[in-house]
Amino acid sequence: MMKMKNHIDELFKDIPSNNETEMVKQEIMQNLEEKVFYLMEHGKEEDDAINKAIVEFGDIEELKKELGVKQPEKKNMAKLNLEFSIWGSSLIIVFFIFINFYYTPDTIWAIYPIFTILWWPLSMYFVWSRKQ
């Protein structure tokens, strides 16, 4: 049962401690204990029952909203992804051009993979422009 208490404490680490949160934690702990006892009555081992009860409980995002905890804002990684795709595709294109002209200068075949590679930054551009 200590595993469940540690799990609940971990879930509530970002929530300020007050009477309301302590009551909610106790209620959750009681519900998890009841679930574990129910599962053990139906043939589960104690560790399996604890793990199953924790997994079925899920996360507490809705509860955090009700308790007024501010969620950290997600960073907009679209610009960084766009820059990375431009640099990465540029390096790959240079590599294909080098291989093409070094090994088969008479046949220009590098244009085909280059067109394929250009879809990567193009798709990242549309993701970036949608986030703007």
Q: Are residues 61 and 11 in the same domain?
A: yes
Residue range 23-33, pLDDT digits in tens: 888 888 898 88
- For 101, left (φ over 0), alpha (ψ -120 to 50), or beta? alpha
CB atoms < 10 A from the CB of 103, how many?
Answer: 9
Task: Please give the Cα distance from 48 to 45 (Å, whole number).
Answer: 5
Q: Are residues 126 and 92 in the same domain?
A: yes
Q: Are residues 91 and 63 in the same domain?
A: no
Residue 34: domain span: 2-67
Q: Are residues 63 and 6 in the same domain?
A: yes
Dihedral (Cα; 127, 128, 130, 132), 10-degree rounding:
160
Q: Are residues 58 and 94 in the same domain?
A: no
Residue that terminates a domain, selected from 13, 42, 67: 67
Q: Are residues 51 and 92 in the same domain?
A: no
User: Is 118 a domain residue?
Assistant: yes
* Lowest-confidence region among 51-60, 66-75, 90-99, 111-120: 66-75
Residue range 2-19, pLDDT digits in tens: 888 888 888 878 777 888
Q: Look up the pTM and report it.
A: 0.49
Residue that terminates a domain, selected from 11, 39, 67: 67
Q: Are residues 62 and 86 in the same domain?
A: no
User: Is 59 a domain residue?
Assistant: yes
CA nearest neighbour of 62 among 11, 22, 23, 98: 11
Residue that terminates a domain, selected from 31, 47, 67: 67
